Structure 1
Amino acid sequence: MNPTFAVVDIETTGTNPKTDRIIQIGCILIENNQIVGRYATDVNPGQPIPKQIINLTKISPYQVKKAPYFEDIAWTIYHLLSETTFVAHNIHFDYQFLNEEFIRCGLPPLEIPGVDTVELAQIFLPTETSYRLNDLAERFGFEHENPHQALSDAEVTANLLLYIKETAQQLPLITMEKLLELSGATSYQTGQFIAYLLEMMRKNPQVLVDDLQIVHGIALRKKENKLFETPLFTNHYPKTKKEKQSFFYTKMEYRKSQQRLMNLVYQHFTEGTEKNLFIEASTGMGKTIGYLFPLSFIATPQNPVIVSTASILLQQQLMEEDLPKLNAILPCPLQGIIIKGKHHYIDLQRFKVTLDKPLRQKQYTLYQMRILVWLTQTQTGDLGELNILQAGHLLFDEIRHRGVEFLLVNQPFYEEDFLRYLYKKMNQSNLLVVNHAFLAQETQRTQPLLPASDYLIIDEAHHLPEIVEKVSNQFVDTEKFQRLIKSYQDEGQLFNQIENLFANHIEANHLFDLYQEELIEIYTLQEEIIAAKFKEQPVKVTHILQHEQWLASKDVHKLEKKLFLYYDEALFLQERLLALSLNLQEQWLERDKIIFGKLVSLFSEMTLQAQMMKKWFYAWESQYVHKIYLYASQNTARLELIDLAATLLPQTSWYPRYKKIVYLGGTLTVPRQPHYFAQRLGITAQKVRTFPSEFDYQLQAKFYVVDEEVALKDLDYESYVTYLTRSITTLLKKNEQSALVLFTSHEVLQDVYARMHLHFLENGREILAQGIGGSRERLLRRFKHSKGSILFGADSFWEGVDLPGGSLELIIVTRLPFEHPSRKMIEAKTRYFSEQRLNYFKQEALPKVSLKLRQGLGRLIRSREDQGVFILLDSRILDASYGKQLQQALPKSLPIERVSLSEARDATCKFLNSKENNEKTFKKQ
């Protein structure tokens, strides 16, 4: 590999090298870890530059008009690059495009080695959330004055290359040697670059740093096993303002409402007899510190505080942001740990097997390389740290943990196992942080993972009912099941492999043959029952069945009885095979154990499938919703069972195990229904203690309701999409602030996006859309970092989106977020409520809309410095009989104004651009 690196970036009129042309090229030369030269020039493409390229690169036709054509500089660039190693961020584009241009100009294609910094970054910086050049520049503080201009991008790529070189050379030699073994999967000569780094490291060998160790050929970070320290003095909770201020002093802002919250939480857990306390705490008051501070004086590892929050993201935020702040002022710091399900963690033994007998597949190998570097950094073994979107990839299926019961004491990685380490740390921690899904799954576990305790905090509690209901949903997809079993029967697949494992054991071999027959009978009977029961039903439509419909369909009682007999026999055979395998495993190679692990996973699936199918066939109480989606073959289907009573906490296994529970959230109260939230959870009516918002909505926000020109209910679908496209375009064309547009339908969102995005892109503004531009986290990250961006979102974007300050100043809501009444699920819920003599619309649908509106508004004003405008394109909030109740859910100080579309546009522009308004806001605060 040539030690002179030419770091190249090109800007082009498009992505097709056959028809598009280069408009700018930048090159940075590096020798001996120093930048030794720069070359940059505009290029006249001899063709128009598309508007979106002009807006992206800020390179105008006027700028390149007098620039040289590529033919004029081709030889110069060719000689500049010869005898170098070509480097680019996504080398596939730059290298190939340049070669096409050289060939067009009569020059031979480049044959110099090439290195891809995207792949290098993915391997050596394994925990980054994004590998886009702009994001990496911001993350590592590289100067990047002109993104999407060739020289600036090349400069950042050069700095990135040098940073990766330095980072890689800090790794243990054994890790780099293993990376080199796997590097054949990398692009171009990136593998040669790894060999070059290894050669440099061997010339200057480093001693293994103290916090690393080598176990069975893999470098691992040593794990801290910090023992919990009990203070020698008695912890006295500071009840008065003066006592609390002595803790906070200058390290943290002291807030009066936060002090009241602290006292309320402390009193609930140490005094009184009530089990449940509901607290509505507004955004910006510091509620996390508010409940953790008092608990730090009473929680111990023997009696820890369990904190459950809405998502993994919020778990990390609590541990990485809130807890360090609090611990800085505590006499005895809280010792916390995030707890997730076993499948979130890597099984080191299984990973080692994939290295010993790797699959020769590019992405599989690149992930292995990434994990090898990550193992020198992680102390948790939590695969989520890798931020990989394709978490369902084959490699992760092979290396996910199955539980400590599958570990063998004599395995090399037994002592270093991450799941065992997690459980050890739990015993030394007085703060255990989980999410609502993990908490809800405690009911489904045969053995609870969380300890009983006096203290449970449910943060972001307004999310709890939906998450509990979602976790409780069960389904069986007979088509997928049938396809899975048939694939396992193929030559060389799982069943063949298991037969080879049992080849020398007559009883196990016989039992496994019987087990395969049982599985075939099960999916055959599933087909027969579905074909008989649903012969007349339309396919590719979700049906919700009533018990009467089920009974009225063709009687297949004998087939049902036979099906469950086969399930019982299959489960019995599973138990026998597991018992026999315990004795055989010591004779198996590690790869054999991974193969058997796949069979064990199938056993677990079959156990759950049998339980769910029995419930689906026979549980017809009003709380259960039976859904079926028939596939085109009409003899396979997806069967789903939804438990509408799952949100009733006293029925769960975990609720009785906690002596006192505090529920906190920003939106727990509903106008005219003071006990709504408690009743929804099946808890005796409880008053919600509220902490008023500290924001001045009258000064900080505007709420405009657009008076529609036509009644929305009278518009057909096409007319409604046209109306929304015109209205949103009108509002956003003049207002260039970042905007979040909230939809109630994914279909409408995508159709409006299709009509708007090109027009806005050509005018320099990007529309990011849920379901189109990547994951939710990726969209939010791009939205935060792009000035004037527009984000289209539905469902999850109504809440839990933290976009403080100038990131978000305008929210447009296309429609009041009611669930569509004709949806089958809503009809089923309405019937369920009617049986209990309740009105679904008043008791459930309307409160949900109230909460969602408040949550949407909560995205806009999240601090006392924020200001913003909320525009609702649905006048029912003012005109409908239930409108008053929705208005009462909003802050009292927030004025609601009915305006025309043009008035909304102009008033928004005036409010957000008014310097006088900004000065007033900050003067008052």
Structure 2
Amino acid sequence: MKKDQLYAVVDIEATGASIGRDERMIQFACLLVRNGDIIQSFDTFVNPSRKVSRTIRDLTGITTQDLATAPYFEDIAHVIRHLLEDTIFVAHNVGFDFQFLNECLERAGLKPLSIPAVDTVELAQILYPSEDSYQLKELTASLGYKLEQAHNALSDAEATVFLLNKLDDKIRSLPLITIESLTDLSPSTTAETALFFRDALDDMLKNPCDLSDSLMIVGDMAIKKPISPTVQEQYRKQPVYPYNEEGKRSVLSHIGLDWRSGQSEMMNTLFNYLKKDTPNYTQLIEAAPGSGKTYGYLFPSYYLASKENKIIISTYTKILQKQLSADIIPVLNQKMPFSKAVAVAKSESHYLSLSAFYRKWKNTAATDTEAIFCMKILVWLTETTEGDLEEIGSGAHMAHAFWKDIRPSERLTPLPVFESYEFLHRRNRRLEESAIIIANHAYLLADWKKAQPIIQSGNVIIDEAHHLPDVIDQSATLSLRVSSLVKDLKQIGSIDKEDSILNQLDAAADSPVKDYQIRSLDSAAHILNEEWQEWSDSWIARIRQSDDYSDTVVEWKDHKIDLNALSVGMKKENKRVKATIDEMIYMGNQILELLESESEALSKEIKRLSSRLQLVIDRTQHLSEILTEMFFRQEKDSLTGIRFYSPSPWNTLTFYQYNHGSRELLHNRLHAVNHLVLTSSTLSVKGSTSYIQLALGLEQAEFSSFDSVFDYQKQGRLFVPDQQTAVGHLKRGAYASELAGQLENILKQTSENTLILFRSQETIQAVYQLLKNRPTLNRKTILAQNISGTPLKIAKQVKKAREVVVLGADSFWEGVDFPEDELKLVILTRLPFDSPDMPLVKHRHQLLSDQGMNPFVHDLLPRAVMKFKQGIGRLIRSVHDKGIWIVLDRRIIDSSYGSAFTDSLPEGLVLEEYPLDKIIDETRTFFRQTEGKD
């Protein structure tokens, strides 16, 4: 901030958040700040002369009584305008506050303000690029400030003052070369936010300081110095693994862990297996929730891993991968008697290319939208050591083509100045030097599909291994999303479309591209756009004409494509659209070859257009290759299919092809691992691991299981309604109605947050509509998958609301994490069998049948039992958790296979059968008693 300048930090609450819709102010707060200190405060409620909606009352906490005696805006307008004169206006989302205030002033007959305005949202996005959220409460909490009354104007203004000072500190901590670059790009920022950068630069030029020892200047950019992976052994010889209880207690207590007998046995089992020279079997380890599985495999790995004898640990999701690398590994490296060099393995597409970014930055005008993105990255480069673009904060802008253009590409020639500092080069060096590599299943399998895999080791630990068969199938599946080509065609545009590649090439006076070449590419792109849409429409129409299609169900539609049964017309259409794609690629490459031949004479603008066109043509070439694989090279036992999300079929239309040969390749890679450990909380069914062995083609395996430390007998109860309330055999409409009635009876008499697990999107939607219309549930916040938002959005809403009911399927059985202690009741509506009508499931079952095996026994049942165990595991996550499960599917008792589910229950958890009314009474009593004990 400029010395002695007066800043007016303002926040406004209103009857609505829209500009130009006659909304009215209900609270105004302004804090005058000079040199970082608040010197004057002004805060008042404002009578809006109208009712305030319940939503706004709940959001702000401002009541009708608060506003009844408050002044009208017209009464204080002159005071506010006078207060703000000769200041710089600051707000968190200044686009709303400044414009809304000016609307109010003009309505009161006063001139609008013409003072400079600065936006702290945009400043935070640039100067704190790695934040998860830029909402005021979440952002300031991350920076160390507790905002007690969010959406109270005075509280929000105070938080914004805190943020403004933090932003000022942050910009002054940056190197001069970075601030100079930010200032050059700052004209792209909102209102007069550029002032913030110019004032900081002026001060830095007057008082320059030395570059931080942690930074270096490369190619006009300040970047974090690479950190070499090192192993710091505090022993003169290899540390001895502590087998016995006493030895383990000593080391574990230093880490901050309690000694658990089951965990200790797991550690010893894994250590003994990894010590064998050439074991002829795979080690399977089932560790129940609460048994300490993660440390169970990390602890012995630390004693055995080395640069020469690496251990690869693969997790199911990137989130789990991040938890290991960012949360657990640092603790072990700090607390263990010795440390290990650990590297994170992710695909090339995760990393920033310094060369690609440099070219993009230098060809970006200060007024371009992309200038803001460049500013974020220039700051981030002073912080990141890995260059993983996932570190950059969230936001809708991340879908912008800019973020694809700055990643590594096979066609990209690294600039010599950056070659040894490129983040991909650093990643590869870390992988070479490390003792332990943390990967995720998708990346590991993608790497194994390469002719020369980067990750080659004889020691692999697969965590959450029950997912591995499905991830292998996904990795063996090619995918083509129709909308990806549409986006690229929009970038190419046309001669008449402003800001498109063709428009700018045609308008450039110094372009060496011939007029006929531009018009040829224009024509090819136009024809392809029309044919691509017609081709896609014909596929959607084909699916909609199928017997089992229903527009009433909002879900992903998934259908097999029998390439041999396609009509002659459809086959011709496939060939025609492929030829049109190749024609456009040819035209594009002709232009690129010409530009490449005259690259030294090209202007900055033409180089930028050439780079954009190159990326689009490369992506289109890759799409053409996938199209060839899918429709013109069908292999034995492969499966081609099509899927789309019914509310927006054209935007989500995706073709896929499962390749049995790719699956076999990945199985062979897996079998070639010398020490292979598969661990999960759900690997067995009735003590047998035959499913996972069959699914992965493992001939020899040894199985060890370790019980949970949870006391399920005290911490939870599991119920199933008696025969009179069974709904399993009713028809679809009657089932949804009866199910909704059962759920209403449970929910209206309980206040605990509830997760209801389904197997059908159609049932979710039908039950959701019924429950939403039940007056007895008015106090509940009812959220449903694919209706209330994505699983991640729903999980966030659970944090903010009370008495939440979530209706979910698929990932909600295990993949979506809710806030700790926020879930008390889990209702399983049906046992989680896969739908046998799904193309990939049908295909899998056909392959089993061809081998003389029963698909139900060898696939459907074990997969359902394992998913059931995951659903049970959603509730009790610590020794303090308490909860209830209710299973509304009588098959768990009545069917011949029911014992497969009941035998999989944790020790101490007994299935209790009562009438539904008694179950509800028992549930209420249980929660009253547990709350009283707590």
- For Structure 1 versus Structure 2, the TM-score category normalised by the shorter chain is 0.7 to 0.9
What is residue 394 of structure 1 aligned with on the other side?
401
User: Does residue 453 of structure 2 align to residue 448 of structure 1?
Assistant: yes
Identity of aligned residues (%): 31
User: Does residue 38 of structure 2 align to residue 23 of structure 1?
Assistant: no
1:376 Cα shift? 0.8
User: Does residue 357 of structure 2 align to residue 351 of structure 1?
Assistant: yes
Pick one of 25, 45, 50 that aligns with 1:47.
50
**Which one-letter code corresponds to 2:669 in the other structure?**
W
Cα distance in 2 for residues equivalent to 1:68 and 1:533: 62
1:864 Cα shift? 1.0
- Which whole-Å deviations, capped at 9, do the CAs of 1:399-426 have from their partners, x for residues lacking one? 11125x8444x62222221111111122
1:601 Cα shift? 6.9
Cα distance in 1 for residues equivalent to 2:351 and 2:479: 25
Distance change >3 Å, CA 14–CA 458, structure 1 → 2: same
What is residue 463 of structure 1 aligned with on the other side?
467
Cα distance in 2 for residues equivalent to 1:33 and 1:527: 57
1:300 Cα shift? 1.5
Q: Which runs of 5+ in 2 are unaligned?
A: 550-556
1:108 Cα shift? 2.9
Pick one of 9, 13, 16 that aligns with 2:15.
13
What is residue 695 of structure 1 aligned with on the other side?
710
- Which whole-Å deviations, capped at 9, do the CAs of 1:201-226 have from their partners, x for residues lacking one? 33433222111122222111111123
1:139 Cα shift? 1.7
What is residue 310 of structure 1 aligned with on the other side?
316
Q: What is the TM-score with the length of structure 2 in the denominator?
A: 0.85
Distance change >3 Å, CA 241–CA 352, structure 1 → 2: same
Is the CA contact 1:571–1:606 (under 8 Å) kept in the aligned structure 2?
yes
Pick one of 691, 701, 714 that aligns with 2:730.
714
What is residue 265 of structure 1 aligned with on the other side?
270
1:162 Cα shift? 1.4
**Which one-letter code corresponds to 1:472 in the other structure?**
A
Distance change >3 Å, CA 671–CA 368, structure 1 → 2: same
Is the CA contact 1:518–1:570 (under 8 Å) kept in the aligned structure 2?
yes
Cα distance in 1 for residues equivalent to 2:874 and 2:573: 54
1:429 Cα shift? 0.7
1:278 Cα shift? 0.8
- Which whole-Å deviations, capped at 9, do the CAs of 1:521-577 have from their partners, x for residues lacking one? 999999999999999886697685576x71584499999999999999999999999
Q: Which runs of 5+ in 1 are unaligned?
A: 920-925
Cα distance in 1 for residues equivalent to 2:627 and 2:531: 16
Q: Secondary structure at 1:865's aligned position in 2?
A: coil
Cα distance in 1 for residues equivalent to 2:775 and 2:200: 45
- Which whole-Å deviations, capped at 9, do the CAs of 1:808-852 have from their partners, x for residues lacking one? 223334443333344444444443332222332332222222222
What is residue 117 of structure 2 aligned with on the other side?
114
Pick one of 261, 273, 283 that aligns with 1:256.
261
Q: Secondary structure at 1:714's aligned position in 2?
A: coil
What is residue 550 of structure 1 aligned with on the other side?
564
What is residue 923 of structure 1 aligned with on the other side?
none
Alignment coverage as a number of residue pairs: 910
Cα distance in 1 for residues equivalent to 2:14 and 2:757: 34
What is residue 436 of structure 2 aligned with on the other side?
431
Alignment map for 1:320-719 (pairs within 5 Å): 320-358=326-364, 363-390=369-396, 391-402=398-409, 406-408=412-414, 411-450=416-455, 452-476=456-480, 481=485, 484=488, 488=492, 490-491=494-495, 544=559, 550=564, 553-554=567-568, 592=607, 595=610, 599=614, 602-603=617-618, 606=621, 609-610=624-625, 613-614=628-629, 616-619=631-634, 621-622=636-637, 624-627=639-642, 639-643=655-659, 651-652=666-667, 654-671=669-686, 673-684=688-699, 686-706=701-721, 711=727, 713-717=729-733
Is the CA contact 1:179–1:369 (under 8 Å) kept in the aligned structure 2?
yes
1:463 Cα shift? 1.7
Is the CA contact 1:521–1:566 (under 8 Å) kept in the aligned structure 2?
yes
Distance change >3 Å, CA 685–CA 501, structure 1 → 2: farther
Distance change >3 Å, CA 505–CA 304, structure 1 → 2: farther
What is residue 293 of structure 1 aligned with on the other side?
299
- Which whole-Å deviations, capped at 9, do the CAs of 1:700-744 have from their partners, x for residues lacking one? 112233568573553545x66666666555544554444334343
What is residue 553 of structure 2 aligned with on the other side?
none
Cα distance in 1 for residues equivalent to 2:649 and 2:315: 42
**Which one-letter code corresponds to 1:700 in the other structure?**
Q
Distance change >3 Å, CA 473–CA 587, structure 1 → 2: farther
Q: Which moved more, 1:311-320 or 1:113-122?
A: 113-122
Cα distance in 1 for residues equivalent to 2:197 and 2:770: 47
What is residue 552 of structure 2 aligned with on the other side?
none
What is residue 808 of structure 1 aligned with on the other side?
823
Alignment map for 1:725-874 (pairs within 5 Å): 728=743, 731-733=746-748, 735-746=750-761, 749=764, 770-771=785-786, 776-777=791-792, 779-781=794-796, 783-784=798-799, 788-803=803-818, 805-874=820-889
Distance change >3 Å, CA 371–CA 789, structure 1 → 2: farther
Q: Which moved more, 1:28-37 or 1:5-14?
A: 5-14
Is the CA contact 1:186–1:362 (under 8 Å) kept in the aligned structure 2?
no
Is the CA contact 1:804–1:862 (under 8 Å) kept in the aligned structure 2?
no
Q: What is the TM-score with the length of structure 1 in the denominator?
A: 0.86
Distance change >3 Å, CA 568–CA 193, structure 1 → 2: closer
Q: Secondary structure at 1:267's aligned position in 2?
A: helix
Distance change >3 Å, CA 191–CA 334, structure 1 → 2: same
Distance change >3 Å, CA 414–CA 915, structure 1 → 2: same
Distance change >3 Å, CA 640–CA 181, structure 1 → 2: same
Cα distance in 2 for residues equivalent to 1:659 and 1:883: 38
Alignment map for 1:233-248 (pairs within 5 Å): 233-248=237-252
Q: Which moved more, 1:176-185 or 1:492-501?
A: 492-501
1:317 Cα shift? 0.5
Alignment map for 1:154-193 (pairs within 5 Å): 154-193=157-196
What is residue 922 of structure 1 aligned with on the other side?
none
Cα distance in 2 for residues equivalent to 1:185 and 1:473: 42
Cα distance in 2 for residues equivalent to 1:84 and 1:510: 56
Alignment map for 1:267-286 (pairs within 5 Å): 267-271=272-276, 273-286=279-292
Is the CA contact 2:125–2:393 (under 8 Å) kept in the aligned structure 1?
no
**Which one-letter code corresponds to 2:16 in the other structure?**
G
**Which one-letter code corresponds to 1:461 in the other structure?**
A
Is the CA contact 1:911–1:917 (under 8 Å) kept in the aligned structure 2?
no
Is the CA contact 1:749–1:792 (under 8 Å) kept in the aligned structure 2?
yes
Cα distance in 1 for residues equivalent to 2:661 and 2:889: 33
- Which whole-Å deviations, capped at 9, do the CAs of 1:463-515 have from their partners, x for residues lacking one? 21222211221144678658856974844966899999999999xx9999999
- Which whole-Å deviations, capped at 9, do the CAs of 1:138-162 have from their partners, x for residues lacking one? 3223132222222222222221121
